Amino acid sequence: MEGVPQRCELCETRIPPGRARCPGCGKVYGEENRCPACHGITAVREVDRGRYVCAACSAPRTRGPRTPLDSDFAQELSRKSLRNRVLSYVFFPVGGGLAAMGATILAMGQAWLEGAWSAFTSGIGGVMLATGAVGLYVATRAMRSAKELRGRATDQQLKLSVQRAEGGLTVADAAMEARVSAQDADARLTALAKAGEVHLDVDEAGTLRYRVVDPDADALEQVELEAEAMGLERER
């Protein structure tokens, strides 16, 4: 596909052949995925069976054979998280059992046996202990990766929920959409707002609402504020 690099320009993750989205950060590539309305290279969102809109500006779009859906990335992260969690559940008991058996055999060989038998038994115990330690290390890494991937999947789902909501989304509504606690949703949305991925507004009723970042609208708002400030200075 034209415009798809071998490695992502943002995170340098290798992009598999035939894919238009980075599996590491979710960035979309490919000229065929350029929106004719906002001109951004984006995924699409399905609003009805067979009807799609741009994930960034909500303009009508047609989905090509390699155009990703906006929800695909969050689902992919969730699948990877589940896979790593299952891997950790397998390796924790196996690694722990091998390490315990290896330590027991090693201690018995050194305490009760002598000569060649002691060396042989201690060798077997040492190998089992080392193998068990490797298994525990793999399980620990897999569990950490599962938690990190699950967090990224939650962040992606929160951003999608905010993007789909007209007029912004409250923390409580975002928590229900992403199926997380309100406390977790609040912390993650705050972090996303600090990173500039979503904006935090206050409506007339004083309710905090998160909305998507619209660079064009933000630039226009900034120009209007600067013009208003200049007008006030001239009046003075």
Residue 181 in 3-state DSSP? Answer: coil
pLDDT exceeds cutoff 50 at 132: yes
Span 74-126, pLDDT tens digits: 888 889 999 999 999 999 999 999 999 999 998 888 888 778 888 888 899 99
Residue with tokens 């490695």: 7
Predicted pLDDT at 157 = 86
For residue 213, what pLDDT band results from cuts at 50, 70 and 90?
low
More confident residue, 216 or 153: 153
Q: Tell me the mean pLDDT in the region 197-214.
A: 79
Tell me the two tokens of residue 57: 């500006």
Tell me the two tokens of residue 226: 């600067």
Q: Residue 218: enclosing H or E segment and its boundaries?
A: helix 215-235
For residue 217, what pLDDT band results from cuts at 50, 70 and 90?
very low
pLDDT exceeds cutoff 60 at 39: yes
Residue 59 in 3-state DSSP? Answer: coil
- Whether residue 57 contacts residue 40, with contact meaning beta carbons closer than 8 Å, is answered with yes
Residue 102 in 3-state DSSP? Answer: helix
Span 148-173, pLDDT tens digits: 999 989 988 888 888 777 678 888 88
Which pTM does this prediction carry? 0.68
Q: Which long-range contacts (CB under 8 A, 24 or more apart) does 158-161 make?
A: 158/185, 158/188, 158/189, 158/192, 159/192, 159/197, 159/198, 159/212, 160/70, 160/71, 160/74
The residue ranges of every structural domain in the chain are: 1-70, 73-209
Predicted pLDDT at 218 = 46
pLDDT exceeds cutoff 50 at 20: yes
Mean pLDDT across the chain: 84
H helices of 20-114, in order, are 72-112
